[in-house]
Each structure stands twice: as C-alpha cells, then as structure tokens.
Amino acid sequence: MRYVSTRGTAPELGFADVVLAGLATDGGLYVPSHWPSLPASLPDGYAALAAEVLMPYVGGDFTREQMSALCDGAYSGFRHPGVVPLVGLEPGHQLMELFHGPTLAFKDVALQLLGRLFDSILTARSERVMIVGATSGDTGSAAIDGVKGCDNVDIVILYPHGRVSEVQRRQMTTVDSPNVHTVAVDGTFDDCQDLVKAMFNDAPFRERHNLSAVNSINWARVMAQVVYYVEAARRIGGEIDVTVPTGNFGNVLSGWIARRMGAKIGRLVVASNDNDILTRFFETHEMRATGVQPTLSPSMDIQVSSNFERLLFEMNGRDGAVTREQLGRFRDKGSLLVEADQYDEWIAPVFRASRASDHDTLVTIRSVHETAGMLIDPHTAVGVKVARENMREGIPMVTMATAHPAKFPDAVERATGVRPGLPDHLADLMGRPERTVMLPNDLPAVEQFVASVAR
C-alpha cells in the first residue's frame, strides 16, 4: 500500500514512513492510494479482527504475524473482554463503549496500537524520536500511556496550567517512566499548540531531536479506529446507523472508511457541542470558522475539524491541487463552500448532523440515569441527544461512548447527584505522586527543557 497527500505535492510514502511523518511535507494529510474491501469472512475476537482489517493498510511493512502480535498487545490491556462492548440503552439504541482502555477515553483504542507501531518501526531502523504534543486533556494521557516504557521514544506533553481537570492532569503526571515528561505551561491550550508548532517550524531543533507527533491527523490513528465500526456492524448484523460525538472529525472519518470498505453502515450522524462548525457545514454547505467556546465536553471544543480534509480530498475526486487551493481560500477568508453536486453525492446520502448545548448535555445525562440507570460522560451525552433526534424506523442506532463518566465527574454529578468512581486500576490516582515542571509560555524555555530530557 502506498500513501498520497491530500495536497498533491508531497512524495508518496509507504505505511511506516507515513506513521513517523504524521503531516505530509506539503502540509497535507496522508491517505491510502485506494480503499481496500473488507474480507468476506471476519475472524472472531477484537484483536484478530483488527489485524485482519488493518493488514491491507500496512502490507509490505509488517507481516501478518507482526500485526497480530501488535494488535494482541494493544488490546490485551483493555478492561473488558470484548474490548469495545455494546450496551443496550433504550429500544433500537445501543452504546458502543470505547473507554475501557488504560486512560478511559476512546483515544486509547488508536494510541495503544500507535505506540507499539512506533516502537516496532524505530527498533527495526535503529532510530529514536522525541514526540512533542499539546493536550487539552484526553490526548496527552492516551499518548503517554501508548509509549511509556518504549526504549526508542521520548515524549513531552504540554498542557495549560490550571485548565485541565484534576483526573486528566494526574493521568499524565503520575506516570513513572524515564521517557515520559509533562510540562504545565503558564498559558492556554492554544498557547501550548503554538509552542508545539513553533518547535516543528524550528528546522534545526526539529532535526536535532528527531521530533515526531501523534496528533489526531496521524493516519495510523484514523486507521485503528476503523476496526470498531466494523465490529459494531458485524455484532448487530444488518444495517446500522452510528452517531459520533465529534471534534476533529477523526473518529467519524474512521466510520466513513469502514462504510467505504463495505461495513453495513447506513448513516453517520455527527454530534457537535456548541462548537458546531461541522453541524453548520452540513446545514449550509459552508464551512466557516468562529471562535472556540468552552463547554462541558472539552475534548470536542475545536475551531476547525482538521481531519475533514481527508473527506474533502475524496469529494474533489482525489485532486490534491483542487483541495490545496480550497484550503488556501479557507485559511485566507475563513470560509469554504462545497458545490451542490458534491454535497448531493458525498454528504447527503451518508451524513446527518445536530448539536447539543451544555443544557442539553446535562438533561441527557440525567435522563439516561433515570431511564437506564447508567452514568454517561458529557461527550457521550452529546452523542445520545443527537442520536435520539436521528433515529430511523427499523434501523438500529449505535452511539459511540467516547469517555468513561469518571473522567468528567463534575458534570456527571451536577446532572445526577451521583459522583462516578474511578475504575480499580485508577482507584489510587488521587494519592499517587505527581511529576511535572512548570514553564512560562516561552519557546526558548520549552526547547531548552525538551533538549534537557532527550536521552
């Protein structure tokens, strides 16, 4: 399998190079040169399914035996034997619980595999990398857990001081591994992201430390997420619709790919919070960026959905030059319009979208607690509210439950009066020693720290 950039000018690469590169050199995102079909028969067991579904994407760089071992390793640490269990919520509506991994959010499904892919590729090449990343909460801890203990990877995660929840912070700062480092930046999440971008733009620094990224545009993350859509469709049998609490469009894009590969998925329903750029796009055919508003579902508080570029590339007939031009206009004017025929061909048959406010989120958490006796997290609640509005007669709906309620205990308690407890493996989280450094929002200070911890 070869990979091409959505902006058309970066060199084609194989899978392993795409994993290490993250972003393409022309600023685009890598996509496979073609979409493979699902095999006629799917093996039992989640890890075996993952190896089977992903094999066409990694072919050439990993053998079937290697892929099976990596997937076994990635998913053996999940706390549920089904890895991503389906749980009944109400008639015709189930939740797929994606939060049974080590850090309690769906990002573990991809990052547990990505960490192992990195380690394996780097070991084979006798190379090392320094992963630097910014997090507003969930990505940092999932990335750290994915690479902790890897000999060939160091990781530095920047987070905004005082602006991540205590559970999220402790999940990052209590990891006791010589290759893991966290930095509390005296600034906002945007400041952290700008620092990371500035380090990548500092070419001598980037090369000296072999900087790498594991953010949501990394192809391997999108790829790994395809598997649970295939699993949902095969477990239910027959056509299903899926609702996805959406931020960067990574998760729902994986659903689109599963559908493209032949999984029996009818509609993909995009659920936004008040940061509703995607919902407005589906309503108006125009993508228009506004400011970011903080909500109860912070992992969906985004300004633009970076992974949408991969769908746009498909909508443009895989023409990188057209996609590049369109995104250039978006950057300059803050607006991107798709043609009516593109909309009718690509969006209308597949996607639906709605939003949920913070008020809707709390009402939904409460109603699920009252009717089903379950506690759900605010991101999942955004999905459930939107799913309920988009149910079709006779077609089962699956809503992706993206975080464990204990990750966002304040919102859950506010809605229900019940404070969700952490699962056993994290029960002593609040008592574990923390290890972090506090730095000013200052590039030289952060670069000096990164250099000092590089092994």
Q: Known catalytic residues?
A: 107
Q: How far is the CB of 382 from ligand PLP (least distance, A)?
A: 8
Our CB check for ligand PLP shows the closer of 22 and 245 to be 245
- In the list 310, 402, 409, 412, the residue contacting ligand PLP (rule: CB under 6 A) is 402
Residue-level length of the chain:
455
The alpha carbon of residue 406 and the mean position of all alpha carbons in its chain are separated, in whole angstroms, by 19
Contact with ligand PLP (CB under 6 A) among 249, 282, 313, 330:
249
User: In angstroms, what is the minimal distance from the CB of 256 to ligand PLP?
Assistant: 12
x-or-dash string of contact with ligand PLP, 135-174, rule CB under 6 A:
---x------------------------------------
Least Å from the CB of residue 159 to ligand PLP: 14
What sign does the dihedral 67-72-77-82 (CA atoms) show? positive
Cβ at position 137, least distance to ligand PLP in Å? 7
Inter-residue long-range contacts of 204-211, CB under 8 Å, 24+ positions, other chains counted: 205/447, 208/451, 209/130, 209/450, 209/451, 209/454, 210/127, 210/128, 210/129, 210/130, 211/129, 211/130, 211/131, 211/132
Contact 300, 245 (CB under 8 A): yes
Bridge partners (DSSP) listed for residue 184: 159, 438
Quick check: 225 and 256 in contact, CB under 8 A?
no
Whether the CB-CB separation of 425 and 174 falls below 8 Å is answered with no
Segment interacting with ligand PLP (CB under 6 A) among 72-80, 242-250, 257-265, 438-446: 242-250
Residues that bind ligand PLP (rule: CB under 6 A) add up to a total of 16
Lookup result for tokens 């079909």:
37
* The binder of ligand PLP chosen from 161, 379, 384, 426 (CB under 6 A): 379
The yes or no reply on residue 274 touching ligand PLP (CB under 6 A) is: no
Cα–Cα separations (whole angstroms), residue 379 to 64, 400, 420: 35, 9, 15
- Minimum CB separation of residue 47 from ligand PLP in Å reads 22
105 touches ligand PLP (CB under 6 A): yes
The residue within the footprint of ligand PLP, chosen from 115, 247, 405, 409 (CB under 6 A), is 247
Q: What residues are paired with 5 via a beta bridge?
A: 30
Residues 191-210 that bind ligand PLP (CB under 6 A): none
Token pair for 293: 């508003």
CA separation for the pair 29, 10 (Å, rounded): 10
| Residue from 68, 216, 272, 361 in contact with ligand PLP (CB under 6 A) | 216
Among 152, 251, 295, 354, binds ligand PLP (CB under 6 A): 251
Angle, CA 422 vertex, CA 78 and CA 411 arms, to 5° = 115
Half-sphere exposure of 9 (CA within 13 A, CB side): 8
Which of 7, 93, 100, 107 touches ligand PLP (CB under 6 A)? 107
133 binds ligand PLP (CB under 6 A): no
| Contacting residues toward ligand PLP, per CB under 6 A | 105, 107, 138, 216, 245-251, 299-300, 379, 402-403
